[in-house]
Amino acid sequence: NHLLLAMGNTLSLRGDNYAAQGYYERLTDSLDVVKAQKGLLLPQVRADQAEIVDLYMKASNNLGVTLYRQARRTGSSGLNAEAMVQLSTSMRAWDAMTRNQVTMVRLGGSNLAEQNMKYMSHPVPDYEPAIYTDIPRILSGEEELTQ
């Protein structure tokens, strides 16, 4: 899964949005299967589930930005709508990661998908929707190197 995100990011940064879309869609489909298998995900309680939700948040945001770029280029309102759906999905994942499950108070911080959504609904000349470019340094399932 980490490799799919890395490939999608590389292609997106190079401006190849159609190829990036394929990688991001494959990643979100894969994560949907994992979500269905695990049921309710509790990212604040279980570290392995936090990784899944974090990856889902990044993939959904990046797919949303990629679809938005295509919509802007082609004029497709359908792609624009799908971009907003993906950004909303990313915002829900961010909320799940940052909200205290006991008090229901959200931790501070900024949400990239929310900023992207604001731009899409009210364009600002100085802002271009952005993707999460940070990727894990190890592939899914690999052991971390230790000294």
The pTM assigned to this predicted structure is: 0.85
Q: Where are the domains of the chain?
A: 2-121
| Pick among 1.25.40, 2.60.40, 1.10.3470, 3.40.1710: CATH of 2-121 | 1.25.40
CB 31 within 8 A of CB 59: yes
Query: What is each CA distance from 46 to 35, 37, 38, 53, 108, in whole angstroms?
Result: 14, 15, 12, 11, 21
pLDDT tens per residue, range 67-103: 999 999 999 999 999 999 999 999 988 888 887 666 6
Q: Shortest CA distance to 100 belongs to which of 44, 31, 145, 28?
A: 44
| Tens digit of each residue's pLDDT (9 = 90 or more) over 8-51 | 999 999 999 999 999 999 999 999 999 898 888 777 777 778 88
